[in-house]
Amino acid sequence: MTTVTTDRQIDPRVASAAAHWSHRFVANGVPLADFQDVTGALTDWDGWCAAWVARGAVHEDLARAAEDGGHLRSAAEHWTTAGVCHHFGKFLFVHRPEEMRAAHLRAVAARNAALPHLDLPGVRVEIPWGGHVLYGNLRRPRGVERPPVVVMVMGLDSAKEEMHTNEQVFLDRGLATLAFDGPGQGEAEYDMPIHPAYEEPVRAVVDWIETRADLDAARVAVWGVSLGGYYAPRAAGFEPRLKACVSLTGPFDFAEAFDRAPPLTRAAFTARCFARTEAEAREVAAAMTLAEAAPRIACPTYIVGGALDRVLPPDHAARLAGAVAGPVVLNMIEDGTHVANNRPYKYRTQVADWLADILAARSPQTSGETP
């Protein structure tokens, strides 16, 4: 038997990505083979962004070929895949900001090309806030004249271009989705730093929904993923127009979580705070606690925790569940990692059904119920 040996040195950041990120990438639209191909060929973190942009270009070519043949729905699917590949090229690549931003622009362009031709099309929208513009993607379900709306709040390294598979479960149940990039996120991260008082941009989003005759502003929920799992309950505590709140493996106290976070996560937070040092970033993190907001949350709240989460402390989900004032469901997934992307079937449909019940004014699940 012949033994093949290699002295190839793998950057520990690439090795960590290959070991821990596959579930998120695949759950949010990256083909498994693409993840394996890209991470398997990389040895150096500096090549990460370029490798994912190159893979995104493969899907862009497929999209253009489908367009040339008049197959616009297929083109939209390819554009969406291209967008998520570009997004994952830039999502934590903060040490090379120009390269990161170029990849981001391609992600946005790809998703924008997809939106009009999706099965359940979407539109790009602009929401004014604080002298700036927040960009979002609005999609509406079929056959519902004035649907309820799920406002989808991003995390530290997510952006609206990553939300396609998350949107689908809500659309399938008659709920509109509005995924938007808030301050320090996605398209807003270059001009606006992270904003701990996240109820302020969410309030602007709800104000904007109230201007739309095709949406039901009386039935609006907020959904947040990862750091968005802090932002969403923070908003629910101070914005009474929100009728329900979903928090996916978010921090209760981000200063504590910041100290325990992986190095790439701390670096991304520091960059998106516009901080010069981790010490300065930690001062921002110290303002990101739900201690005051949680007892003010009167609307029904659904909290997902991942007991195997290595990015944010798993016990923070229970802390939030114990602090809210209104009805609460705590779904602690014992074999779930961060955002339970390794077990999406244990929360995605459950959350969507719960929200559909709440926003349709049917009886919600019993307070304290664990699915």
Domain boundaries, the chain: 1-118, 120-371
Pick from 12-16, 249-253, 347-351: least confident: 12-16
Residues 193 and 272: beta-carbon distance below 8 Å: yes
* 361 burial level (CB within 10 Å; 0-12, 13-18, 19+): exposed
**Other C-beta atoms within 10 Å of 226: how many?**
25
Give the residue-averaged pLDDT of 301-317: 96
Task: Tell me the Cα Rg of the chain.
Answer: 20
**pLDDT(253) > 50:** yes
Token pair, residue 321, equals 């569940």
Q: What is the mean pLDDT of the chain?
A: 94
CATH of 1-118, one of 2.60.120.10, 3.40.50.720, 3.40.50.300, 1.20.1440.110: 1.20.1440.110
Residue 366: per-residue pLDDT: 35
Task: Tell me if the pTM is above 0.95.
Answer: no
pLDDT, one tens digit per residue, over 20-77 is 899 999 999 999 999 999 999 999 999 999 999 999 999 999 999 999 999 999 999 9
What whole-number distance in Å separates Cα of residue 33 and Cα of residue 36?
5
> Residue 7: which pLDDT band, with cuts at 50, 70 and 90?
low
Q: Percent of the chain, pLDDT > 90?
A: 90
Among 204, 192, 256, smallest CA distance to 230 is for 256
φ/ψ (deg, to 5) at 212: -100, 125
What whole-number distance in Å separates Cα of residue 366 and Cα of residue 370?
9
Among 269, 279, 277, smallest CA distance to 226 is for 269
> Residue 369: which pLDDT band, with cuts at 50, 70 and 90?
very low
Q: Is 320 helix (H, G, I), strand (E, B) or coil?
A: helix
Amino acid occupying residue 239? E
What whole-number distance in Å separates Cα of residue 227 and Cα of residue 273?
13
Residues 244 and 359: beta-carbon distance below 8 Å: yes
Strands 301-306 and 242-248, sheet pairing: parallel
Give the residue-averaged pLDDT of 262-276: 94
pLDDT, one tens digit per residue, over 49-65 is 999 999 999 999 999 99
Among 338, 243, 246, smallest CA distance to 23 is for 338
**pLDDT(2) > 50:** no
Residue 51: per-residue pLDDT: 98
Domain at 120-371, CATH homologous superfamily:
Alpha/Beta hydrolase fold, catalytic domain (3.40.50.1820)
284, containing H or E segment: helix 278-286
Among 287, 290, 297, 345, smallest CA distance to 313 is for 290
DSSP class of 336: -
Amino acid occupying residue 133? V
pLDDT, one tens digit per residue, over 198-231 is 999 999 999 999 999 999 999 999 999 999 999 9
> Residue 259: which pLDDT band, with cuts at 50, 70 and 90?
confident
Give the residue-averaged pLDDT of 111-127: 98
> Residue 188, Cα to own-chain centre: how many angstroms?
14
Residue 8: per-residue pLDDT: 66
